[in-house]
């Protein structure tokens, strides 16, 4: 396991404990992880999407409020 993989794993563990939305993105803009509070904003569970390239995740997510309004 390289240094970046270790850092991402540690950041994911921390994000899972936090109540605020967390998005982990690499230097190229690829979405590596987002936590449960972020799922509510994005309208998708991380388990459904997994990591996504920048050009893909920038187009599929449409942030909404609690009533699912844009």
**In this model, does residue 32 exceed pLDDT 80?**
yes
* DSSP output for 9-61: HHHHHHHHH-SS--EEE-TT--EEEE-HHHHHHHTS-HHHH-SB-HHHHHHH-
**How far apart (Å, rounded) are the C-alpha atoms in residues 19 and 62?**
21
Residue with the bigger pLDDT between 60 and 20: it is 20
**How far apart (Å, rounded) are the C-alpha atoms in residues 49 and 32?**
10
Q: What is the mean pLDDT of the chain?
A: 88
pLDDT the model gives residue 22: 94
């Amino acid at each position: 396991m390289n240094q970046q993989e270790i850092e991402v794993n540690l950041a994911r563990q921390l994000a899972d404990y936090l109540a605020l939305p967390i998005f982990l993105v690499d230097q190229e803009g690829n979405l590596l992880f987002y936590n449960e509070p972020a799922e509510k904003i994005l309208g998708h569970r991380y388990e459904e999407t997994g990591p996504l390239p920048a050009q893909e995740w920038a187009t599929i997510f449409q942030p909404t409020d609690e009533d699912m309004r844009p």
